[in-house]
Amino acid sequence: MGPFSRDKKSKARPLLAPGGTKFDFRLGDSQAETFTISEVRRQTVGIPSEDLESYMEARYATVLGLDEHETFLAWGPVWMGIRGYEKRFEGTAVITSQSIMAWWQPSRRSLIHSFQASHTAFEAYEYLGPSASHFRWTTGVCGNDSGKFIVGDPVMFVASRFSDKDGHANRRTLEVYYTFADLATANNTKIRRSHGGSSIT
C-alpha cells in the first residue's frame, strides 16, 4: 500500500515529512516530480547534511557490486519482494543514473541478499498504487546465500517503506521510488504498464 492510499480510519500516526509536517495524501502520484532526483539536481544540491549518514550507509552498495564510479542519485529504505515469494522484506535501495541496487536480509541467519539491474534492461511494470509496483527486467543479477547469478526476466516488488518517526527517511524512500520509475521508463516506448488485473508476473 502506498503512502497516499493509507486507510484514513487508521489510528496510526500520520506519515511525517521533513520539518515535522505531513505528506498531503490527496496529491497522490502528482508529487512524483518533487521526489525525482535527476543527475543535474543531485550535482546542484550535493549531499545535504541530513542525508550524509544514510548516504555513507548506502555506499555499502559498492561492496555488493555496484560500480563505485556511478553517481548516487537516490537511496533509502524500501520494501522488497521476489516473484514466487509472498513475503516482503525490509531493504535498502540505491538508484544511480545507470542502475538499481537493492539489498535485504531475509532472516537473522541468512546472508545479505541483493538484486542489481540496469535501467536499459527494464521491460515492464504492474502498477499497484502510489509508490508501489511490480517491476520486470530482461536480465538482472541476484545474490543470496548460494552466491551471485544472472537471472532472466526477473520480477521484483518494490515499494516505499515509511517511518512514523523520521521525515527525512520518508522523503528518501519516495525519492528512491520516483527517481527509479522516471529513469527506467524515460524515452523507452517499449515499456509496458499494467494494473492489478493484468499481471506481468
Tell me how many degrees the CA angle 196-105-115 measures, rounded to the nearest 5.
60
Which of 47, 2, 4, 6 lies closest to 26, judged by CA?
4
Sequence-distant (≥ 6) Cβ neighbours of residue 75 within 8 angstroms: 54, 55, 58, 61, 92, 93, 94, 95, 172, 176
The answer to whether residues 123 and 193 touch, using CB atoms and an 8 Å cutoff, is no
Count of positions (residues) in the chain: 201
Taking phi first (over 0 means left), then psi (-120 to 50 degrees means alpha), and beta for anything else, what does residue 57 get? alpha
9 has a pLDDT exceeding 50: no
Report the C-alpha gap between 6 and 52 in whole angstroms: 29
Task: Band the pLDDT of 195: cuts 50, 70, 90.
Answer: low
Give how far Cα 80 sits from Cα of 14, 33, 85, 183, Å: 23, 23, 11, 19
Report the C-alpha gap between 86 and 29 in whole angstroms: 25
Task: Band the pLDDT of 152: cuts 50, 70, 90.
Answer: very high
Which of 53, 80, 58 lies closest to 143, judged by CA?
80
The per-residue pLDDT of the chain, averaged, comes to 85
| Cβ-based burial of 24 (10 A; exposed 0-12, middle 13-18, buried ≥19) | exposed
* In 77-126, alpha helices (H): none
Give how far Cα 74 sits from Cα of 12, 36, 149, 197, Å: 27, 9, 25, 30
Measured from the Cβ of residue 58, the count of other Cβ atoms closer than 10 Å reads 22
Q: What is the pLDDT at residue 2?
A: 37
187 has a pLDDT exceeding 80: no
Domain boundaries, the chain: 3-194
